[in-house]
Amino acid sequence: MSDIFGKQLQPIETPIPGLIVFELPVHGDSRGWFKENWQREKMTTLGLEDFGPVQNNISFNDAVGTTRGIHAEPWDKWVSVATGRIFGAWVDLREGPSFGAVFTTEIDPSRAIFVPRGVGNSYQTLAPDTAYAYLVNDHWSPAAEYAFLNLADESAAIEWPIPLSEVEISEKDKAHPRLADVTPIAPRKTLVLGAGGQLGLALRERLGDAPHIEYVTRDELDVTAPDIARARRWRDYGTIINAAAYTAVDAAETAEGRTAAWQANAVAVAALARVANENGITLVHVSSDYVFDGSATGAYTEDAEFAPLGVYGQTKAAGDLAAQTSSRHYIVRTSWVIGEGKNFVRTMASLADSGVDPSVVSDQIGRLSFTNDIADAIVHLLEKNAAYGTYNVTCSGPALSWADVAREVFRLTGNDNARVGNVTTAAYFANASTPVSPRPLNSVLDLAKITATGFTLRDGGVALADYLAVRSPSEAGRKLPS
């Protein structure tokens, strides 16, 4: 046993993505030995995912050669031995390019291995009285999807220390399929809320219709419902993208709108954060420049203090705070969102083509955010495993007023941009007959943080020209200038 002592805690990568061996320090003397078999802070500091174990199982094997597996379950495992020694074999049974990859090694009390969801796990005991232990981050469920591989599969070609013909194997394990007949375990699901909105449509275009991507509207899933925790088998989900929101900023100032805004923008987000925390899900939540009062002299960084002016901004700020309670969260803060459907750019293009000369607010400044860019940024953060937190996402380039944007729309549609006049926010709403939400005059967001992750933000002028270039013929009264 002396060879298990003196190791330093360190992770060792394997050829299977996410499958990580850990060397464990074991301390001993004449009385026996001691080890920290699982130490969350130390192991996550070394890069292991905080996988949130909920159950600890032990399989005792009294004879050498006990052979079990290969089983792939839809949860993560932390595998170790308390006594004895095993030869472990792992086969990637996940859908993707590493399907069928094999890794083998011996595990004694001084080693452990993190086995990600969908990787087939098996072992053969090399010493009597071997206690095989594993932490898992979900409870067994008959509704879960499993995959199995035959221990003697020729493609995997596992070199078992003791030939399979000489050991006892369960009838179930003997009946498991060869690799060619295994149905791969699909990735954990991604749930997109607000699928019918501007950003929801852009996310559908970006993510596609793969079986593990699910799109829902509020009519299909009300996250504020009391039974939300039982609305799905949430452990099958890896990501929730919350593209749903109450965005009628002026209607939010009415009694009915105030209630609806708080429900959609704050209460719903708190419910999503609870579900995400309880099930190890990454929550992506879309925020707004309205969480600020617009009084800053420069661009707002992600950690600027909240100071919302109206009900809409207050509910969005509350939603941000709720999203932050999820340990795995990305808050994507945007401004002046433009996508499919009715929006400022389409309205200005229609006025330009109809011969209308509008007066447009000139004392609010910011940058446009196109929904396809927001969708790309969300996918980038998820695929790059960027640090959790808040990220500003808008177009790059100079800050403009709404009047400046309108003039650019007129120019790009072949119209005289001098037809656009200026008006102050106060004057524009002076004679409003219904409640009006106060607007931040400065909506410029600092983009350094998202840029540092390697994401390229399109220039606002280029993005606007691209957007207008794909208008349908019915929307465009004039040919775009060459």
Is 134 part of the annotated catalytic residue set? yes
Q: What is the dihedral of CA 187, 188, 194, 199, to 10 degrees?
A: -40
Q: Of the candidates 346, 343, 390, which has an alpha carbon nearest to the alpha carbon of residue 197?
A: 343
Q: Of the candidates 359, 345, 348, 334, which has an alpha carbon nearest to the alpha carbon of residue 443?
A: 334
Say how far apart CA 467 and CA 82 lie, in whole Å. Answer: 61
How large is the angle between the packed helices 344-354 and 402-412, nearest 10 degrees?
50
Which residues, in sequence order, are CB contacts of 219 under 8 Å at separation 6+?
A: none
Say how far apart CA 420 and CA 405 lie, in whole Å. Answer: 10
* Residue-level length of the chain: 482
What DSSP string describes 193-249? E-TTSHHHHHHHHHH---TTEEEE-TTT--TTSTTGGGSS-GGGEEEEEE------T
Say how far apart CA 79 and CA 122 lie, in whole Å. Answer: 11
Active-site entry in 123, 134, 246, 330: 134
Say how far apart CA 326 and CA 343 lie, in whole Å. Answer: 32
Q: Of the candidates 289, 415, 296, 307, which has an alpha carbon nearest to the alpha carbon of residue 358?
A: 415
Q: Which residue has 């002026």 as its token pair?
A: 250
| Cβ atoms of residues 471 and 404 within 8 Å | no
| Cβ atoms of residues 371 and 202 within 8 Å | yes
DSSP classification of residue 343: -
Which are the catalytic amino acids? 71, 134
